[in-house]
Structures are given as C-alpha cells and as structure tokens.
Amino acid sequence: MPKHMQHDIDKLKAKIIAMGEAVEDRVYQATLSVINRDPSKANAVIKGDREIDDMEVEVEEDCLKILALYQPVAIDLRFIVAVLKINSDLERIGDLAVNIAERGLFLAGQEQFAIPFDLTAMVNLAEKMVTESIDALINHDVRLAHHIRAADDTMDAMNREMYTQLKGMLTTDTEHVNNLLHVLSVGRHLERIADHATNIAEDVIYLVDAQIIRHTPELYDE
C-alpha cells in the first residue's frame, strides 16, 4: 500500500472512531434525559446534532477522496465501502438520539408518572449494542459482530412487549395518553438504534470476511 494512502486511511479510521464515540455519548445522554427527566441533557443532545452532521460530511468526503486518488482494492476497498455505510448508520443513530432527547424534554415538563414497562432494559441493551458495534469496528472483531446481530432479536422482543403493554394502557389510562405516546416513541427509537448498530456489525463482518450477510438469520456458532 502506498505510504500516503496508508496515512489517509489511518486518519479516516480515527475520524470514524471519533464519530462513533460522539454518537455513543449522544445516545447515553439522550436516554438519561428520559429516565432522569433531565431537560439539560436533552437540550445538549438536541443542540449538538449539527456536530454529528458535520462529522458525517467530513468522513464521506475523505472516503471519496481516497477512492479517487488511490483506487484501492481488496481489503482497503472494503474498508472504504464499510466506512461509507457505517458513517450513514452513525449519523442516523445521532438523529434518533435527538428524537429521544426531544421526547425526554417533553416528559421532563410533565408530572411524574410511572413508565409501565422496563424502559431501562431497552436503554441498556441499545447502548451496549452501539458501544460493541464500535468496538467491533476498531478491533475487526467478527465474533463480537455476530453477538450484536443476535442481540437485535432480544431488542425486537422487548419492543413487541412494550407495544403490547402500552396498547392496553392507551385505552384505560386516558389521563396519561400523551406521556404514554412519548414513551412508546422512545422505545421505537431505541429499537431503530439497535437496528443501525446491527448494520454496523454486519459491515464489520463484510470488512473482515468479505461476506454480505444482510437479511440472513444469525446462525453463528463460536
């Protein structure tokens, strides 16, 4: 690999990792704003959205520059393709964190009410999947990437259970309908965050093993 190309790829890797860490923090702060009814954390996430957008544009421009200048092949080409896709998923996770923060801002202004399902478990799983997807990228860890894919089934089951519980309450607890709808939205956004973390894991598998495994069940056996 040409020396200049290696230098540019190393810089790109550092940028996508920094973006991943920033997005991870946004998810953490946004979910705290819901659980702790903390408007300051919600506002910080909402105001910081532009930073994530700028990082996405910069990463994409760097990828296109490397493709144009060096015409990489094999694993270097796969790395650029994977980063382009991961970059998009990270930006979407950032957007979903903003959506959650907006729900948190609303809930912070309401009278205290009990969330009728284990939202914390969904939050913890979503945050773990985002963190592990970034770790899998940094370490080219296929085993961890497969675990993330398997965890997505757990998140889907949590989302279905949440919907079932809230569906009944929306017809009986009319006093808290708006609160319940915002909590339902938070759960759906967490499920979407898990989907994007799974996409990143699948891109790591593509990067390392040159296998496209989207739309296939998780059958990985260590």
Domain containing 102 equals: 3-209
* Domain containing residue 110: CATH number: 1.20.58.220
pTM recorded for the entire structure? 0.93
Q: How far is residue 159's CA from residue 194's CA, in Å, rounded to a whole number? A: 11
Q: What is the pLDDT of residue 219?
A: 59
Assigned domain for 214 exists? no
Does residue 218 lie in a domain region? no
Per-residue model confidence (pLDDT) at position 54: 97
CA–CA dist 173, 196 (Å, integer):
33
Show the tokens assigned to 108. 């912070």
- Report if residue 220 sits inside a domain: no
Q: What is the pLDDT of residue 117?
A: 78
- Quick one: tokens of 136? 């899998």
In the chain, which residue ranges form alpha helices assigned H by DSSP?
Answer: 3-35, 39-47, 49-70, 74-108, 119-139, 142-172, 177-209
Residues 169, 176: Cα–Cα separation, whole Å: 9
Any domain includes 221: no
For residue 119, being part of any structural domain is answered with yes
pLDDT-flagged residues of the chain (< 70): 1, 215, 218-222
Spatial CB neighbours of 211, under 8 Å, sequence gap ≥ 6: 205
pLDDT recorded at residue 68: 96
What is the distance of C-alpha 16 from the center of its chain? Answer: 13
Q: How many domains does the chain have?
A: 1
Q: What's the pLDDT at 221?
A: 52
Report if residue 216 sits inside a domain.
no
Residue 217 domain-assigned? no
Residue 27 lies inside a defined structural domain of this protein: yes
